[in-house]
Amino acid sequence: MGAHSISGHDLKSVLTHLSEHGYAVLEGVLSNSEVRHYRGLVEELFEREQNEPFNPGDGPALPADAEIEKYLKESYLVSEAELARLMQRIRYTRAQNQGTVWPVSPSQVVKNFLHLPTLFDHDKSQRIWNLVNKAPDFGKLIEQPVMLKLVRDILGPDCVLADCSATSIGPHTEGGAWHVDVPLGQLPEPLPDFPLTVQNAWVLDEFTTTNGATQIVPGSHRTRKKPQWGEQQENSVVLAAPAGSVVIWLSNTWHRSGPNVTDGPRPAILCYYCRSWIKPFTDFTSSLSPEIARTFSPELRYLLGFSSNALVRG
């Protein structure tokens, strides 16, 4: 399964496994007390946002909204209430951008520009966006020394953070669709033969074969192709790992959340890094409060986009 003990800090073997198979599992990165701390933080946030979903406001409806709503219905297992909230968020954000519409269909819009569900699998599963602004302690995971060294060895020393979120894969859910990560979905095949982004999941509850742990197809990053929508993958493996581990995969490795046939949710923290010249998934410089940003190290601020984003020139 590609498991490595972090006690030896043998990052060379981890990098080799990532290069050959597209994924790796590092055990024992977080202590038991750290796992309890981060699990407690996300459980509180999950409950709060389940009861009070994100509602920034609204904006004017446009004729293009019918196509957007149809696309969201076909792409995500969302309740009518969450679909209505998604459309409201889209209208609000469009109004903040001078009412500018996309020049392409919703299916062609890069996911960076599109609001995605916070509740899915018909409200059984959940995602928390803008995580580090809601619980700044998660910044420590973003710049965790061993993980950051590994990510920089893959993406370059000037890489930045694309996103930081929490997921909870709900009980008795069927798992997600096989995919590669943003921005590869927008690129024609053959895909680049080097990784553009790296995703890692911090394991708060043990990842098992039955509770919705991430699944990957070993070696799929070498195909330079995208998985076919809805297609089954017979050669997939489950990234089983004890709590306190971190699982990592390259953006071009085919992966998905597996089915959760248990009676409980499967939480994790996702830290998603990209090469410095790729537009991040989240604009932290706009969403992060200045008071919180000032408490972070210069290294973490750079990862979050401070002094590493596009400039106002002239």
**Domains, the chain, ordered by start:** 3-52+120-303 (2.60.120.620), 55-117 (no CATH)
Amino acid 148: pLDDT: 96
Distance, in Å, from the CA atom of 44 to the CA atom of 225, rounded to the nearest integer, reads 39
Amino acid 6: pLDDT: 45
In this structure, which amino acid lies at residue 246?
V
Amino acid 8: pLDDT: 44
CA within 13 Å, CB half, 68? 25
Amino acid 150: pLDDT: 96
Give, for 27, the enclosing helix (H) or strand (E).
strand 23-27
How many residues are listed for the chain in this entry? Answer: 314
| Cβ neighbours for 132, distance < 8 A, ≥ 6 positions apart | 138, 139, 142, 164, 284, 288, 292, 304
Amino acid 9: pLDDT: 52
pTM, rounded to two decimals: 0.94
Amino acid 10: pLDDT: 84
Radius of gyration of the chain (CA): 19
Distance, in Å, from the CA atom of 180 to the CA atom of 196, rounded to the nearest integer, reads 11
In this structure, which amino acid lies at residue 233?
Q
Closest CA to 205 of 6, 5, 10, 43: 43
Amino acid 225: pLDDT: 97
Amino acid 235: pLDDT: 93
Per-run averaged pLDDT (10 residues), the chain, 314 residues: 52 93 96 98 97 95 97 96 98 98 96 96 96 96 96 98 98 96 93 96 98 97 92 93 97 96 98 97 94 97 97 90
Residue 70's CB is within 10 A of a number of other CB atoms, namely: 11
